[in-house]
Structure 1
Amino acid sequence: MAVYSMTGYAAVQSTPARTAPESDAGNGSHARLGVEIRSVNSRFLDLAFRLPDELRQAEPALRELLTGKLKRGKVEIRVSLESNSGGSLKAPASSTLQRLGSMEDTVRSWLPGAAALSVADILRMAAGEDKSTHDYSDDLLKLAKKALKDLLTAREREGTRLAQMLLERTAQLRALAASATPMVPKLVEQQKARFMDRWTEAMALTDGSTLPEAAQDRALLEATSFAIRIDVAEEIMRLTSHLEEIDRLLTAGGEVGKRLDFLIQELHREANTLGSKSGSLELTHVSVDMKVLIEQIREQVQNIE
C-alpha cells in the first residue's frame, strides 16, 4: 500500500451533452463543466465546496464521494458551469413561447395596464427556464470521480517522494546512534583514568593515613557512578526501536500520518535525554545532529495522510 501526501491538486473539464427540445436540434448548444480539487495538510478531513447555484443539490453526493477516498486534509472543491454556445443566441422552443404568451394573456386580463413582453424579455426568460430545467448532477459526479482519481494519483506521487526522503533521514539517524554507542565506554575509561590520577596526586599529599587500596576503591566507585550517569544505552535502544517502526510504517503504507507523528515525538524525547546525559563534546554534537534530522522528519510527516 502506498503512502499518501495530503498535498495535491487536480483539475478536469468536460462538455456534457444537453437534452434539448426538438426545435433546438442542430444549434450546437452545450455547457462547459469544470471541477477543481486542491488539498493541503490538516489534522482532520475538512471539506469546502464552491458550487454554482444550479449544482447545489449535488453537494451531498460529492461529499460522500470524497469522504469515501480521503481521510485527512483540508480539501476544497470548486465547480464551474459556463455556457459554450459559440456566442450565438438560441431560438426559444415553440412550447416555451406558447407558455409565455399564455402567461402574458393571464396577467393582462387582470392588469390591463401591464406592459407587453419585449423580445429581450422573452429571450431572457426562455434562457433562464432552459438553464434551470437541465440537471447536470450526473455529469458532475462523473467528472468529480475523474478529478478525485487524478488527485489521489498526485497525492500518491508526492507521498512516495516524502517516504523516500524520510527513509533517508532515518538511515542517517541510525548511523548517528551507531556512532554514539562506542563513545560511552571510551568516556568511562577516560574518566576512570582521570579519577585515578587525581587520587594518586591526593595520596602523595597525605601523611600515609589513607590506605592506597581504599583510595583506589573510591576512585573506582566514582568512575562507576559516572558511568551510570552517562549511560545512554537504553536511549539508543529505544531510539533504534522507534526508527525501525517508522521504516516499517513507511514500507507498509496506508494511513500512517498520525502514528508517525507520535513516533517523532518519542524520537525527540530520546534525543533530548541523550543530550542531557552527554559527557563529552562529541556526544553533544551527535545529539544536536539528531535533533536537526528529527525536526526535518517532523516537518515532512505533517504532510502525510
Structure 2
Amino acid sequence: MTHTAQTEAPADTPAPTAPSGASPRLPATPSLTTRTGTTNDTGSTTNRAKNGTTAQRPASDAASKPATTPASTPQPAVHSMTGYAHRSAETPLGRLDLEIRAVNSRFTDLHFRLGDDCRPLEPRLRAAITARVRRGKVECRMSLHPLGSEGDARIDTARLAQLVGLVRQVQEVVPGARPPAVSEYLRWLQNPEASPTGASAGPQPPDDETLWQHAAPLVDDCLADFQASRAREGAQLAALLREQAARMAELASRLRPHLPTLHAAAETRLFERLNRAVDRLSLNIPPEETLARVRQEISLLSLKDDITEELDRLDTHLEAMDQALAAGGPVGKRLDFLSQELNREANTIASKSIALSITDTALALKLHIEQVREQVQNLE
C-alpha cells in the first residue's frame, strides 16, 4: 500500500480575497501531489532487515551452501579492443617475427599478412587469436627469415652459372631473344620458385608441423603480451567509466532533495495564474466548481512533471554499469546499451523540466553520458 505525504501551505500566508464587483477569487489550496517518499511491503521488509528483526534462515539451508572464498575465483578483466604486441624468436629454421595489432570494430575481423613460408599456419593462427579475442579488427603479420639470409649477401655462383647456361640455350634456339637483365637474375636467385629451374634448385621450405612446433611458443608469448596490453588499457577505460558514473549519481542525488520544493513552487505559480484568469472571466462560475478543476489541473501537472521514476531508473542503470565492469569480460555491447538507456532518461528529465536547476542537471547528465558512449566504443 502506498502512502502519499502532503505538504501543507505556510500558516502565515493569507488567503487571497476577491475585490468587490469582481469574480470570486479562489482560496489558497495546499499542495496536492508533492511526494516525499513511498513505503510498500518490500520497503517494510527492507527496514526490518536493517533493524535486525528479520527471521533467521534455517540451519539446514546454511549448511547446504558451501562457504566460498572470493579470492579463489578471480574475475576476468575488462579488455580494450586496441592492443599491440611484437615478438621475435631464433629457431633452427631461422628467425620468426610475429606482430599483432588491433583497433575498434563492431565484430571480429581478422587480417593476416604472412610470408610465403608461414601461409600454411593461417588456420592455426586464426584459431589461436579467436580463442582470446571476442571483438575487434585484428591484423597479424608473421615472417620467417631462413638461416643465412641475413648478414653479408652472397651470390650463389653455381646457381647463377646454371641460369646463364639456360639463357644461352634459349638464345641458340631463338637468336633474337633479349638477354635477362641483372635485376631478373637477382630476383631468380632470391626467389627460386620464379626462376626457370623452379624451386628444386633451392632449399625446400619446412613442413607445416615442424614450422608450427617452432612457432607455437612464439604465438603464445605474443598473444599473452597482446592480451596484457589490452587489459591495461581496459583497466584505464573502466576507471574512467566509473568516474563518469559517480559524477552522474552525484548529480541525481543533489537534485532529489529539491524536487518537493520545485513541485510546490510550480503548483503555486499555476494556482496564481489560474486565479488571475478567473478574475478576468465575465461568467458567473461557482467557486467550488472552479476550485475542483484547478485541483485536477494541479494534480495532472505534478504527475506529468514528476521525474522521480526517471531518477530511479538512472540509478538502476548506473548500478548495472558498475556491476558489468566488476564482472569483467566482454562488456562493450552491454555498456553501449546501458549508455543508450541513460541518454533516454536524461532526455525525459529535460522534457519534464519545471525549473532551471532540472534543465542544468539534464544537460550535465547528457554531457557525461556522451563521454561514456565514446569510451564504451573502445571496450571489447
TM over 0.5: yes
* Deviates further, 170-179 or 159-168: 170-179
Question: Does 1:231 find its partner at 2:288?
Answer: no
1:170 corresponds in structure 2 to 245
Q: Which runs of 5+ in 2 are unaligned?
A: 1-75, 174-184, 193-198
The corresponding residue for 2:90 is 15
Please, which of 179, 189, 195 is the counterpart of residue 254 of structure 2?
Answer: 179
Change (3 A) 1:89 1:204: closer
Q: Report Cα offsets for 1:194-230 as digits up to 9, x if no partner.
A: 2333354456667894454544443332221211110
2:99 is aligned with what amino acid?
E
* Alpha-carbon spacing, 1:269–1:12, altered in 2? closer, same or farther (3 Å): same
Which residue number corresponds to residue 76 of structure 1? Answer: 139
How much has 1:284 moved relative to structure 2? 1.1
Name the structure 2 match of 1:87: 152
Distance 2:344 2:278 in 1: 43
| CA shift for structure 1 position 169 | 0.6
Mapping 1:15-34, distance limit 5 Å: 15-18=90-93, 31-34=94-97
Greater helix fraction, Structure 1 or Structure 2 = 1
- Match of 2:117, SS? helix
The equivalent residue for 1:129 is: 202
2:374 is matched with which residue: 281, 296, 299?
Answer: 299
C-alpha RMSD of matched pairs (Å): 3.4
Could you tell me the TM-score, scaled by structure 2's length?
Answer: 0.64
Distance in 2 (CA, whole Å) between partners of 1:128 and 1:304 is: 51
Q: Which residue of 2 aligns with 1:57?
A: 120
| Cα pair distance change 1:60/1:142, threshold 3 Å | same
- Which residue identity is paired with 1:259? R
Q: After TM superposition, list the pairs within 5 Å mapping 1:200-279 onto structure 2.
A: 200-201=275-276, 209-279=284-354
Q: Is contact 2:266–2:354 with CA below 8 Å preserved after alignment?
A: no
Point out which structure has higher relative CO (alpha carbons under 8 A, 6+ apart).
Answer: 1
The answer (yes or no) to whether the contact 1:12–1:34 under 8 Å persists in 2 is yes
Q: 1:123 to 1:246 in 2, by over 3 A?
A: closer
* TM-score, normalization by structure 1: 0.79
Q: Deviations for 1:156-209, whole angstroms, at most 9, x for unmatched residues? A: 000000001100111111112223323432222112222333354456667894
The verdict on how the C-alpha distance between 1:217 and 1:128 changes in structure 2, with shifts beyond 3 A counting, is: farther
CA offset at residue 274 of structure 1? 1.2
Q: Distance in 1 between matches of 2:189 and 2:291?
A: 109
**Structure 1 residue aligned with 2:21:** none
Counterparts of 1:79 and 1:269, CA distance in 2: 46
Task: Find the residue that maps to 1:180 and give its secondary structure.
Answer: helix
Task: Tell me which amino acid in the other structure corresponds to 1:86.
Answer: G
CA offsets 1:22-42 (integer angstroms, 9 cap, x no match): xxxxxxxxx322111000111
How far 1:128 sits from its partner (Å)?
A: 6.2
Alpha-carbon spacing, 1:6–1:233, altered in 2? closer, same or farther (3 Å): same
Residue 290 of structure 1: CA displacement? 0.8
Q: What is the aligned residue count?
A: 277
Quote the offset at 1:142 in angstroms. Answer: 2.1
Paired position in structure 1 for 2:359: 284
- Alignment equivalent of 1:43, drawn from 106, 114, 117: 106
Check whether the contact 2:118–2:143 (CA below 8 A) recurs between aligned residues: no
Counterpart-to-counterpart distance in 1, 2:280 and 2:104 = 69
Report the equivalent of 2:267.
192
